[in-house]
Amino acid sequence: MSESAAVGIGSAPPAYLDAASSEPLHPAARESLLAALDAGYADPRRLHHPARNARLLLDNARAVVAECLQVGPEEVTFTASGTEAVHRGLLGLAAGATGARGPVVLPEVEHAAVRHAAEWWSRWGSRSRAPEEGQPMLVGVDQLGRVDIAALAEAVRAGQPAAVAVQSANHEVGTLQPVEEAAALARDSGAGLFVDACASMGRLPLPRGWDALAGSAHKWGGPAGVGILLVRRGARWATPFPDDDRADHRAVGYENVPAALAAAAALQAVVAEREETGRRQHAMIDRIRSAAAAIDDVDVVGDPDLRLPHLATFSVLYVNGEQLVTELDRRGFSVASGSACTASTLEPSHVLAAMGALTHGNVRVSLTREATDAQVEAFCAVLPDVVAELRR
């Protein structure tokens, strides 16, 4: 096979189509990171001049994030990862709940970080049952991956939950969730609502009604190792882990000041451009969904309209997902397969299983901010040939 054939059409460049796993570092983040490495090394809790400089950088990063997300600076905490933000946000609401509270209620399609935190709470944190009996209450979803709001209401009424968790948008199929309806149910039950917004933060405005919410900087072009935890002013939140002596009681340890500033710079840049970027990506994803649907025995999953703008997922009958990823990679297209959070274990996607969709032979395509029409057309052109070749 010639080099040009290996990448699709003509001289179309190789395409990184796995932005949902991690977006390439934004130029604004790189510039801020390099500058802050020389100015933000000191402990921002100290009183000397270098420490005050670091504190100014950290406060500036917090203020920028707050402005981008339309929250108060005091509601913003930087964590060491999106996973830590998820764990602290959800478990903090459960720990802060009043009275004898039971398990966490959550849809079946939540990210593994949320599911694991809910399981941990049921086993070790719930005050209404023995550890060996503890299980979170999982709620079903429809064929598009959207939570059944009636079933969620029933679970909230029956479970006296310590917290309710509903993601803003599904990380594997892109479907937007009814967060505001879930917030009303949680509020009526007296439970706090946790929202995992790692997949959507920066790409879409935040939903309303949450008590705690988490994001992850590398998903929008910030550096890896920076999470964003938002805790609404007045929310019943208590630290679920041992206290730290830092000033922000919601975090633990020494903040990575340069990385926090870089994350804030990237967020500011992508929020400023997200309407135009979202329109462009939505149209390109429509093209990918149509091209996949045109192939026999291919199931395109997720809501076609109420979804993340940059993500498409489809399942191919009679083809192994890892083989699809390998062959597409050989031709210059980097995509994902399997469960978005456990692909390295080769386990079937719990999201697709909950939707009743085909769990093997699935591919997730997610566009970076720099994805081009030429790359998308090249991918759409090569996909039928790859599928046919593997089926043969």
Residues that are catalytic? 341
Residues sharing a CB contact under 8 Å with residue 144, sequence separation 6 or more, in sequence order: 173, 175, 301, 302, 303, 355
CB distance 203 to 220 below 8 Å? yes
Residues sharing a CB contact under 8 Å with residue 52, sequence separation 6 or more, in sequence order: none
**The token pair that represents 31 in the structure block:** 């510039």
Strand 212-216 and strand 227-231: pairing? antiparallel
Q: Is 21 exposed, middle or buried (0-12, 13-18, 19+ CB in 10 A)?
A: middle
* N-term to C-term CA, the chain: 18
Alpha carbon 333 to its chain's center: 22
Dist CA 76 CA 250 (whole Å): 9
Residues sharing a CB contact under 8 Å with residue 23, sequence separation 6 or more, in sequence order: 218, 219, 220, 221, 368, 369
Buried b (16+ CB within 10 A) or exposed e, 97-131: beeebbbbbbbbbbbbbbbbbbebbbbebbeeeee
- Which residue carries 């395509």 as its tokens? 365
Q: Which run of H or E residues covers position 97?
A: none
CB distance 311 to 365 below 8 Å? yes
- Which residue carries 């009681």 as its tokens? 249
Dist CA 312 CA 364 (whole Å): 6
Instruction: Write down the H helix ranges in the chain.
Output: 3-6, 27-39, 49-69, 82-96, 112-120, 149-159, 179-189, 257-293, 321-330, 350-355, 373-391
201 strand-pairing partners: 204
77 strand-pairing partners: 229
